[in-house]
Amino acid sequence: MKLGRRGFLGVAGFSGGLLLAGRPRAARAEEQGRGIPGEQESAVLVDTTRCVGCRGCEAACSEAHGLPPPDPDDKVFESRRSTSPDQFTVVNRFPGPAGAARPHFVKSQCMHCVSPACASACPVRALQKSPGGPVFYDGTRCLGCRYCMVACPFGVPRYQYEKAAPYVRKCDFCASRQAEGKAPACASVCPSGALTFGKRGELLDEAKRRIYGAQGAQPGRYLRRIYGEHEAGGTDWLYLSDIPSEELGLDDTIARESYPRMVDGALSVPPIVMALWPPLLMGLRQAAARRNRKAGGGEPGAPDGEEGEGHE
Partner 1 sequence: MSDTAPAAGFDLRRQLLLGMTWRAYARSLLTPVNALAAVICGVGLAVVVWRFRAGLGATTNLTQAYPWGLWVGFDMLTGIALAAGGFTIGATIQFFGLEEYHAVERSAILAAWLGYMLEMTGVIIDLGRPWNIYQVFLHFGTTSMLFEVTWCVLCYTSVLTLEFSLPFFQWLGWKRAYAMMRKALLALTVLAVVFSTMHQSALGSLFLLTPGKLHPLWYSRFIFLFFLASSVVAGIGMIIVVYALSCRFFPKHLGGPRDSSKLVLGMGKAGALVGFAYFVLKVQGVVDGHAWDLLRTRWGLWFLVEVLGFVLAPVLLYAEGVRRRRAVLVQVAAGWALAGVVLNRLNVSVIAFNWRDPTPYVPRWTELMVSLTLVTVGVLAYRWIVNRMAILGERPALGPASQGD
Range 109-138, binding partner 1 (CB under 8 A)? 117, 120-126
Q: Give one word for 112, left, alpha or beta, with left for phi > 0 and alpha for psi -120 to 50.
A: left
Binding part of the chain for partner 1, among 21-29, 49-57, 105-113, 199-207 by CB under 8 A, reads 21-29
Q: Is 303 in the site for partner 1 (CB under 8 A)?
A: yes
* Cβ 79 to partner 1 shortest distance, Å: 15
Contact status: 90 vs partner 1 (CB under 8 A):
no
- Measured from the CB atom, is 153 or 213 closer to partner 1? 153
Q: Where are the alpha helices (DSSP H) in 35-131?
A: 56-65, 117-121
- Give the three-state DSSP class for 45: strand
State how far the Cα of 146 lies from the Cα of 158, in Å rounded to an integer. 9
Under rule CB under 8 A, which residues in 27-56 are in contact with partner 1? 27
- Virtual CA dihedral for 183, 188, 194, 199, nearest 10 degrees? 10
Q: For residues 105 and 50, what is the distance between their CA atoms, to the nearest angstrom?
A: 9
Q: 180, 174 in Cβ contact below 8 A?
A: no
Q: Measured from the CB of residue 114, what is the shortest distance to partner 1 in angstroms? A: 15
Interacting residue with partner 1 among 17, 63, 100, 143 (CB under 8 A): 143
* Contact call for residues 221 and 49 (beta carbons, < 8 A): yes
Q: Whole-number minimum distance, CB 266 to partner 1, in Å?
A: 4
CB of 8 to partner 1, least distance (A): 8
Q: How far apart are the C-alpha atoms of 233 and 254, rounded to whole Å?
A: 10
| Contact residue for partner 1 among 72, 95, 191, 301 (CB under 8 A) | 301
Sequence-ordered list of residues with C-beta below 8 angstroms from that of 21, at least 6 positions apart, any chain: none
Interacting residues with partner 1 between 182 and 241 (CB under 8 A): none
Residue 14 lies near partner 1 (rule: CB under 8 A): yes
If binding is defined by CB under 8 A, does position 284 make contact with partner 1? yes
Among 96, 133, 233, 260, interactor with partner 1 by CB under 8 A: 260
Q: What are the counts of helices (DSSP H) followed by strands (DSSP E) for the chain? A: 9, 9
Please state the closest distance from residue 49 (CB atom) to partner 1, in A. Answer: 27
Least distance in Å: CB of 17 to partner 1?
Answer: 12
Residue 57 carries which side chain, given as an amino acid letter? C
Q: Binding to partner 1 by residue 20, rule CB under 8 A?
A: no
Provide the minimum distance between the beta carbon of 14 and partner 1 in the complex, in angstroms, as a whole number: 7
